[in-house]
Structure 1
Amino acid sequence: MSALVNVVVIAAVMVLVVQRQMRAQRLDTERRFWLLPLILGAIALLDPQLVDHQHTAVSAALLAAGLVAVLAMGSVWGWTVRLWRAEDGAVWAKGTRATVAAWVGMIAIRLGLYGIGAALHVHQAGSVLMLGLAVMLLVRALVVNWRARALDLPKQAAVLH
């Protein structure tokens, strides 16, 4: 996939995700939350330019640093989402200002890593961003779903006693 197409796909997914996260929505914990990250990750991993073969070690280190950063930021993002149970028992979620700050932080980290790579003359394909986005979306969904299931624990404990 060309770099331009990767950037367009990444931008479209980011706009869609952020827009959806900033409005209240019913959370379906049985939904296949892993499907979009899986598809994005598979597309990214199929790119032969994921690692710059002229600077393999530095490129791999930057990729690893980026993945560690998105693991952390995906977790932070998942914890910034406000969750609540409605009167009908449904769990709802809505992003907060801290959610926006998490996105801004991730973009700043990503730009910093890109700057380091550019200074070291490492080619960084758009698939690196796509893989990072996939990992971040998956981690965020795992954290939010775990937190949503934790809302059920007091109710489940009462049933067991």
Structure 2
Amino acid sequence: MSGLVNVLVIVAVAAIVIGRQLRPRVIQADRRWWLLPVILAVVALREPAILDAHHRTESATLLAVELVLGLAIGAGWAWTSRVWAAPDGVMWAKSTKASAAVWALGIALRIGVFALGAALGVHQDSSALMLGLAATLLGRAGVLVWRAQSLQGTSRPAPAYGDGMPSARKEHA
């Protein structure tokens, strides 16, 4: 695929995933939650230009940083999501405002990695970004499934990061 097609795929997948996470969604631990990230990774790894031929070490290092960032962002996104069990035992999840902050931080960090690569003169293909998105989705899905499985059989919701913290708003008497 060309770089433009990769970018369009990345934007479409991110828009769909983010849009879906703004609404409560069923967590289906028994399904193939890892399938979409694996498909994105396979498509990304098929590109021969994923590593810069003139800067292999730097390019591989930036790719490794992108993967670690992706996994960390995905895990952070999952930990900031609210997870609960419905009365019928079905597990649900919904992203929170903290999840949006994790996404914003992730985008800023990825821009920083790209800027560092550009400063080093490393050609960065969009397939590296796609591989990072796959890592993000894999990290998020894995942590959410793990959280859902650890909560099954309990009646209390799992706290998201920031739950129970005092509000920063000023109270009026």
TM class by shorter chain equals over 0.9
Provide the C-alpha distance between the structure 2 equivalents of 1:87 and 1:4, rounded to a whole number of angstroms: 46
CA RMSD of aligned residues (A): 1.2
- In structure 1, the residue corresponding to 2:140 is in which secondary structure? helix
* Paired-residue identity, %: 51
- In structure 2, the residue corresponding to 1:84 is in which secondary structure? strand
Unaligned runs of 5+ in 1: 156-161
Structure 1: which amino acid aligns with 2:85? Answer: R
**Superposition deviation, residue 113 in structure 1:** 0.4
- In structure 1, the residue corresponding to 2:83 is in which secondary structure? strand
Unaligned runs of 5+ in 2: 156-173
Within a 5 Å distance, the mapping from 1:11-22 to structure 2 comes to 11-22=11-22
- In structure 1, the residue corresponding to 2:92 is in which secondary structure? strand
Tell me the residue number matched to 1:76.
76
TM-score by length of 1: 0.93
In the alignment, does 2:132 pair up with 1:129?
Answer: no
Contact 2:91 2:152 in 1 (8 A): no
Structure 2: which amino acid aligns with 1:132? Answer: G
Structure 1: which amino acid aligns with 2:22? Answer: M
TM-score by length of 2: 0.86
Total equivalences in the alignment: 155
**Superposition deviation, residue 102 in structure 1:** 1.0
Provide runs of 4+ in structure 1 moved above 3 Å: none
Tell me the residue number matched to 1:60.
60
Provide the C-alpha distance between the structure 1 equivalents of 2:75 and 2:153, rounded to a whole number of angstroms: 21
Tell me the residue number matched to 1:159.
none
Structure 2: which amino acid aligns with 1:33? Answer: W
